[in-house]
Structure formats: C-alpha cells, structure tokens
Structure 1
C-alpha cells in the first residue's frame, strides 16, 4: 500500500478517537519549514477519562502529543525527521509563550509518539530506547529529556486496551485486531468510527490500478470489515425506516471509487430502492470510472 493511503487512514482514525477528548489537528504544520505532523493533540479531558475510554492510546496522550504512524517498520532517518518536527514545535510553542509573557511548563511540552508495525532491537539500542516497567510490552522510550516514545504494534498485548493501536499494524496483527473490532458490541465506543475508516481504506485501495502484493493482501484483510460496515449501515437504514442511510453510504463509496458525481447522477442514486442500493454497493467495487456507473444505472432504468 502506498504510504499516502496509510497516512490518511491513520490520521483520520487517530483524530476520530481523540476528538471527543481535546483538540485533534490533522497535518499540523510547523513553521521552521514545510513539515507536517500526522496528528497533533491537545487534551481537554482528564487523564483518567482518556485512559478508561481509549486504553493505551488514551494513556499516551494525557499531555500535548504528536502522533506519527508508519505502514512499514520505522527507519532511523524517519525517527530523526520526527525528532526535528518535535523540536520545531517545541521552539514554536516556546516563542509563542514568551511573546505572551508566559513560560512553557513541563506539563505543556509536547510528547512525540511513533507508531510502527515493528522495530529492530538494533535500532532501539542505537537511539537508547528502552521499555519501562509500568508500561505495556511494545512501548519504548528514548532518554527522558527527549519526550519520545515508540509503539511497536506487533509486540503489544492482544487486549482491548491496545485495540485502536493494533488496527494501525499490518499482517496478522491487523487481521486479529479487525476480528476483535467486528466482535465488539454494536454500541461499543468508536467501533463504528473504526469500521468506517477501515472500509474507506479498502475502497481507496480497491480503486487503484496495478496493485502490488501488499495492496492485494490488504484488500483481503479489509474485506470482512468492509462487508460488516456496509451491512450494518444499510441495516440501520432499514431499522430506522430511512433510505438516506443507504444513499449516503453508496455515494461516499462511489466518490472514492470513481470521483465526484454530478447532480443528475446523484439524483438517480438517491431515487434507488434499498435493494438496488445494496446491489450497487457490491457492483461499484468493479467500476473503473464514471462510465461504468452510468452504464449500471441505465441498465436498471429500463
């Protein structure tokens, strides 16, 4: 999978988890040069609430935090680049506080978290990163003054408290996390958010041409979650007696698959019955462009 697709998925996933508890900013720029942080989060909820409702992710972000997620194992150059982002942001916040006649306290200094599917012992040692007894397996910290942590998703305990982070992993780690996600009660906090982001990722990858082996494997991994999300969304539309739920689902997937739709095409889709919307939600995965959609609609208007 291209890094851009995983970056967007991770940004939307993490910001959705964090938004109810503070200010979550996607692609936050730092001023020294054109640098972007995946997610910059400033909590407004209490540390206790964050830990209870978001598990390990909540424990990580009880202070202002930069979050950077990687599809492939993080490399030394990427760690150094993230360190530079952290230092740039610290300098920016320090200047701002000084201009306001204030002092940036330790509690307001940002913490950097890098989320990686795996990391070598050699690389950890080269940065002086070590596990800490009070934290879960798979969590490593660089020397204290740097305020940098690394999360290796393949080493995290397979418990609900780590689920949101393991969804950002890959291979069997992500597959197991997806199975756990689907098995959660329908009302479980953030379940629907995670399902939707994973389903959207599948449609985005499916729409690409010349898929590589990693992308084809990811589509297979994401297929169960896509089907689950689609089924639940359409079922919700039936249960509430509203066709609009199904229409919104299909329109969202079509835009990702074939691009923006004109008003006439949208009107035709909005007029479809729920059974036809279900049929279209299956067919659209094979569409290459808008012409395929127009042909499909024309065949059902006869």
Structure 2
C-alpha cells in the first residue's frame, strides 16, 4: 500500500512514542471493505507515559484510533474515520459476546482525529464542543456516544504537554515544536529516537523525484531536526571510530582488551588522538591502569 511522506512520518512518529506503553499496530486492517486504521493503539497494563504529555494521557485511556492528517480533513474523511471506529468497536463487542462478557461503555475504543487546523464552518457542521474543565484548548469532542474527538493542533497551548502533537502541525506551529524538540536535554531518549526518525525519513524522501508542496513544506519544517540528527550521527561515528582506534592500539600492545583495560578506554577517549596514541604505545599496562582506571 503506497504511503505519502507525511503519512509515513506521522505513523512512524506515533509508533515510536507509543511503543513503550503497549501494542501499536500501524496500517491495521479492519473488516468492512478493508479499511485501514492509521494507528491503532492498545495500552499495556500498568503502562505509564510520564514524558508524552497530552498524547500519553489520550493513549492510556483505552484503545485509541489515531488518524493524523496533513491538511484539514474533509467531511467524507471524518465520516470514514468513524466507520473505522465503529468497525473496531463492533469487532470488540462480537468478541465479548462469544466469550459471554460485556464491555463497559468507557472501555470502548475512542477515535482521535489529528488535524493541523480546522475551519469555523467545519467545526459548526460537526457540532463538536470543547471540554475546558477537563481538557486543554484545541480538543473538540463529538457527542458522547460517538466516542471521538478532533485534536486541532494550531489551537493547542504551546506547552511541554502538547509538544508531541504540535510536531504534527503545519507552518510556524511545527517549526516551533521542532525547536522545542531540539532544545530537549541531549540525554532524552525520546529526543534521540524522534530525531533519528526525522533523519531516516528525510533521507528516504530526498530520493523521490516528485514531491508535493506539502512534502516540501514538511522537509523545510523538519530541517532543524534533521541537521541536529545529522550532526549527532557524525559525532557518534567519530566517537566510534576513535574508540576502535584506542582498542586496536591496546590490542597491539597487550594482545587483548580485557575487563580491566576496557575501563580505561573511556578515559583515554577524553584526550585527543595526539595525546592518547603515544600513551597507548609507550605506557605499560600497570601505568595505564594506575592513571586511568579510576
């Protein structure tokens, strides 16, 4: 099945963020004319999402259908999203009937349509409403029995809680979110993993001969993240190369890099090649251990 660049990026992005919390199925086929849910997520028992903010809160409520759009969805696309939701709910209810159990209403799957923006006309037609007492601005809910909501990205508050949704926005909203992503602590696992997704996605997209205006905008918006990821990849490659050099020098001198010698490698890597090379070749094993093992 052909995937557009934004579609592929959004699915990989959401899969990466949600995978530690439970089961993620990308392009999940459901019955009734072989409809595909963009991302179907089922939370694992006892899962926690302390770093995912609003996305984590939504994901851990119950089974979630996440349908990201690169542009405002049409009325037909909204209806198609609900067809997928109703099919998933019907499947769950049939399974419960076979097992002679019941599914509480609050445990049924929910639909979350993610749109970069939404016109006042469509908002009025859909008759969705805010829930300011329980949710931030930008989340519009359908009537309770429909178990669905639209996340309007450009209306979300600019906070850490909404970062992962704002990365799926457009224009200035997405560029601001990318800046926040890059500014996260370098030791952040999510930062590193998302930057790697951006890096791989950018490389794959640049091999395509025909790009739409939306694709080109996404490339521009993710440029800062791509450059950061590329720099990190180069640095990691240099560090790995230097480690290999140090270990090879130690093997040349002492035959192997055992557990004791491996403890001095990190310390030697803090030095320049001009400094660590003569030390590896001239100092004895005992001198290296005495100087660097601690």
- 1:243 Cα shift? 8.5
Counterpart of 1:277 in structure 2 is none
Counterpart of 1:258 in structure 2 is none
- 1:127 Cα shift? 1.6
Where in structure 1 are there 5+ consecutive unaligned residues? 245-302
Please give the alpha-carbon distance, in whole angstroms, between the structure 2 residues aligned to 1:99 and 1:141: 32
State whether residues 129 and 141 of structure 1, in contact with CA within 8 Å, keep that contact through their aligned partners in structure 2.
yes
Please give the alpha-carbon distance, in whole angstroms, between the structure 1 residues aligned to 2:45 and 2:102: 22
CA, structure 1 residues 214+15, in 2 after alignment: closer, same or farther (shift >3 Å)? closer
- 2:52 pairs with 46, 51, 54, which one? 54
Please give the alpha-carbon distance, in whole angstroms, between the structure 2 residues aligned to 1:21 and 1:213: 34
User: Does structure 1 residue 175 correspond to structure 2 residue 165?
Assistant: no
TM-score, length basis structure 2 = 0.77
Counterpart of 1:17 in structure 2 is 17
After superposition, the C-alpha distances for 1:185-206 in whole angstroms (9 at most, x for unaligned) are: 1122411121122223322332
CA, structure 1 residues 54+132, in 2 after alignment: closer, same or farther (shift >3 Å)? same
After superposition, the C-alpha distances for 1:266-296 in whole angstroms (9 at most, x for unaligned) are: xxxxxxxxxxxxxxxxxxxxxxxxxxxxxxx
Please give the alpha-carbon distance, in whole angstroms, between the structure 2 residues aligned to 1:90 and 1:58: 21
After superposition, the C-alpha distances for 1:166-190 in whole angstroms (9 at most, x for unaligned) are: 1111111111111111111112241
User: Does structure 1 residue 72 correspond to structure 2 residue 76?
Assistant: no
Q: How many residue pairs get matched?
A: 241
- Larger Rg computed on CA atoms: 2
TM-score, length basis structure 1 = 0.75
Alignment of structure 1 residues 203-218 onto 2, 5 Å: 203-218=203-218
- 1:32 Cα shift? 1.8
Where in structure 2 are there 5+ consecutive unaligned residues? 245-294
Q: CA RMSD in A?
A: 2.0
- 1:212 Cα shift? 4.0
Alignment of structure 1 residues 97-176 onto 2, 5 Å: 97-133=96-132, 134-176=134-176
Counterpart of 1:291 in structure 2 is none
State whether residues 128 and 142 of structure 2, in contact with CA within 8 Å, keep that contact through their aligned partners in structure 1.
yes
- 1:239 Cα shift? 3.0
Alignment of structure 1 residues 265-280 onto 2, 5 Å: none
Q: Secondary structure at the match of 2:54?
A: helix
Please give the alpha-carbon distance, in whole angstroms, between the structure 2 residues aligned to 1:243 and 1:197: 26
Please give the alpha-carbon distance, in whole angstroms, between the structure 2 residues aligned to 1:129 and 1:243: 57
State whether residues 25 and 40 of structure 1, in contact with CA within 8 Å, keep that contact through their aligned partners in structure 2.
yes
